[in-house]
Structure 1
């Protein structure tokens, strides 16, 4: 044999057989033991056996009959992956099984107990303290605490189902068999937790399920055995009083990992999560949703001495200053107009994206009631109103929301109904006429509208309705005569 040829390096770009073998061997896991659960890929399907890549130097073999469906058909093809248990292993072959099942009797159960190999059992009935389970034609007992990872509320849910179990106690030649499903689930959960923790990192986004709600936040399951806490401040861009305002148990959420720290117990981790940061900052596209002059519905979140904060969209709030609350009355406290939880219409007056500040107005959204006052209340028009308040110089009468007029005491005294008007209490209905409107000063003068009111005014002016008219007419007539005499 030519030693020089043997030692000749492989052509450039190609790996030697030794390198390939070393690379192949490096990826193998030769630590498989009886009872281990593996996930393997089908590499070949024979007449009676199915061959599986176990991730070691030896392939795995599982009986084809174990993999048939209820109709006796094999629905699997090469490339499919299976979860199987190791039932025996040597250098040349690894025997696999979904779980020991079928015939075999007590001896097989003893072997499964000694080697910690899972067995397949069918839950026959719920009995006191647990379940009666049929395992390889033998009767076994599964305590209720060993059926699942969580508290079993309704035992009947498990009856009729088939699960893998491990034998915890094998006594009296198989007459006393105690089994556990919980142990298998715990191993699976631990494997899942370890796999998840290897790939989780801060800023990663996952989908999780709300499993518990506490006053300070919500716990979200990210993977079997892995939970994180979403603090109430991270549940929503909106302000929350309780977590239940944003989520409920069973909700599926997108969450962002904020931090991962060691837990109080060895080997545990504390994972801080955020729902709102997984959504993104709502102010990023706020300019497309909020514009000056827009009228928007919002929800009052809180009140302060200077005004009320209103949420327009989740995470986007604006302020209604107390001076912007009403055209119709003087507001001393925001709670006189709104309270937290109210849904109100507001108008956007100012918008500063850099400072994330929005100025809002309730009164501009409702509109100025004096805007078209001269059209609504023309002089001479008779209207119905209500006594707002009584003063020494007259009565203020509310004609419409935000619109008050003054009925002077002199007009009341000249009226035929002076005594009745004087006896009216605040809130009482009253019929008045519009004498004059000053929109600029927001003033309306009123009259009683009866003949005595007119007559009394003209007598005060020194004449009668038929001959002299108003005081203005009388003065005009006197001036005219003076000019003629001059």
Structure 2
């Protein structure tokens, strides 16, 4: 939309600078001809005689508003707007959406099975797990609502840096979901965390029922949010092996070092 700032001087509000939440809509659905608007000057290019303006910058960022109104740990209610293979999108205050990832739907059921219980239009309650204003993302959890199930699956002994064994319950393009041994907790291991070797960061390497070891990279007992990484475990084991069995500086190759570590593990 072109806006006359002074007689003979116009600036342009690009469609991407019109609304925080309405993407790819016709400018005519947001402003109309002869309407008086308050705008922010974003850029002035005297050589090209261009002035870039922003309309949304005069309004409060809805993700900032949401974070102020609903801090992490708050319980919210909203309508399921969409279902994808990764989880649910829930409509929230301020015309923004929050996402409930598969792994945050239920403590005991596999993600895809729990997802089948929800439909578009359902009204659901969820707990706010994280709000990233810069990336315009809101993470929600339904299993963390406090129904009592999480007490049975609280993962006693879990802490950042600990190593756990899990059973693969789901495999998709984004990674794998695992059920942690000796608990009812589930966690999602992202594709980038499946291996240190980029060639092995393929979810299809795994199958349902496979056992995997992984390192806990994040665990929030309050929200029940847990993050696992096979890559972090591999890096930690390599560092430990180098420290214990020698380094490449001493003439030992990485293969020799890891070989010595594996032999020692087998003996134990």
**TM-score normalised per structure 1:** 0.28
Name which structure has the greater RCO, CA cutoff 8 Å, separation 6+: 2
Between Structure 1 and Structure 2, whose CA radius of gyration is higher? 1
**TM-score normalised per structure 2:** 0.47
